[in-house]
Chain A
Amino acid sequence: MDIIESVFIRNNLIVAFAAVGIVMWVSYFLANKLTAGRIHGSAIAIAIGLLAAYWGGIATGGTRGVSDFALLGGIGLMGGGMMRDFAIVATAFGVHLSELKKAGIAGVISIFAGVIVSFIVGAVIAVLFGYTDPAAITTIGAGAVTYIVGPVTGEAIGASDAVITLSVAAGLVKSILVMIGTPMIARHIGLDNPQTAMVFGGMMGTTSGVAAGLAATDPALVPYGAMTATFYTGVGCLLGPSVLFFVVSAMF
């Protein structure tokens, strides 16, 4: 047992490649046999990943999903920010500049519209739940932007730890829902071309959510959505503790 454990832990990234490979194989098998290709194999793989992450969080009490199990620690590296960003950038290879230019203005508008709309929705819900402190309302609104904007804003304007934790949870719900919901909703919102994908990335903003949601919808759209989504968190961190906080403070 010790031998297996030490081999797995010492080669954890390689274990992760093998484990993810098996999950992908099972997912594509299920997608083809059970759903006759109607549900994308990668959508099933992502859903399995999220379920495993939930199980990992419950079983270990950690914050990094299944990678908190020592034997699967490599999943943390493989699915971490560094590898994710590297692979996202690689998807831009073969993208045509003309496609990017076509959605230029709509793409920029979508980033600001996305941040502001999500913020308002989150803030309104915080008020409906009885919050009256501007710092708390702003922080929860910022959490609905992304789970990074929430704590960055909360810490900057002095929100309580409990509120900051809530804002992270709201952002996580958003991110997970985008991963699962995108393939289901894609047809209804016309998400089948590079321009709409850029607007989609700007509206939703959560890089993880958009990255996984588009992968499960149509991998060809990934670079376009990811390109705008990666500006979203920065814009959110810019507006949250400044303009948006001032507006909320003036109202409450």
Chain B
Amino acid sequence: MIVYGVALLSACLILGMAMGQILGVLLGVEANVGGVGLAMLLLVFASNSELFKSLTQETAASGIKFWSAMYIPIVVAMAARQNVAAAVDGGLLALSAGVAAVLISFALVPMIAKIGRAAPPDTAQFEE
């Protein structure tokens, strides 16, 4: 049943969001801390586990894959509902702050990515 996969996906999102909300309260923050990331981890665990096999294989899997494939169209709709006019109206200060933050962060990506690769790459390859 396709709906089993959809239901598993929904359960992961709701659980993850609840965990993110609780984490936010514990940290004293007015925000959901990593709810979506935690939900993704739950789905990764579920899809790698024997226990949930019946919810992640065959037709049930297509219920998850459908939403995964809808991701790009949903992102296009998301782009179409951004407050672009406000970003343009923000003037030179907002523009410089946003542009500079992006450019410097882009430039630092390769440096920080190296930290991960400095850790023994050979052993990682043996595991596979």
Contacts and interface: CB of A to CB of B under 8 A. Distances in A.
B7 interface: no
Contacts of B127: 98
A37 interface: no
Q: Which of B23, B56, B68, B87 has the most CB of A within 10 A?
A: B87
B9 A174 contact: no
B51 interface: no
B37 A91 contact: no
A204 interface: yes
B32 to A, nearest CB: 7
Contacts of B107: 189
A102 B75 contact: no
Given A53-B82, A117-B108, A176-B82, A181 B97 contact: no
B54 interface: no
A72 B116 CA distance: 44
Interface residues of A, number: 117
Given A122-B97, A230-B34, A84 B112 contact: no
Given A106-B115, A196-B113, A88 B71 contact: yes
B33 A171 contact: no
A74 to B, nearest CB: 8
Nearest to B9: A90
A110 B112 CA distance: 7
A16 B121 CA distance: 46
B100 interface: yes
Given A24-B73, A87-B70, A170-B93, A54 B84 contact: yes
A169 interface: yes
Size class of the B contact interface (CB-based, 8 Å): 35 or more
A195 interface: yes
Contacts of A152: 30-31
A79 B74 contact: yes
A111 to B, nearest CB: 9
Contact of A169 (B10, B23, B90): B90
B94 interface: yes
A138 interface: no
Given A50-B84, A53-B83, A92 B44 contact: yes
Contacts of B59: none
Interface in A59-110: 63-67, 72, 75-76, 78-80, 83-98, 100, 102-107, 109-110
Nearest to B114: A106
Contacts of A145: 101
29 contacts: A47-B79, A53-B82, A54-B85, A56-B80, A65-B83, A66-B80, A75-B80, A79-B74, A89-B40, A90-B70, A105-B119, A106-B115, A113-B108, A113-B112, A117-B104, A121-B97, A121-B100, A121-B104, A143-B94, A145-B101, A170-B98, A172-B86, A172-B94, A173-B90, A181-B102, A195-B117, A204-B105, A212-B79, A230-B40
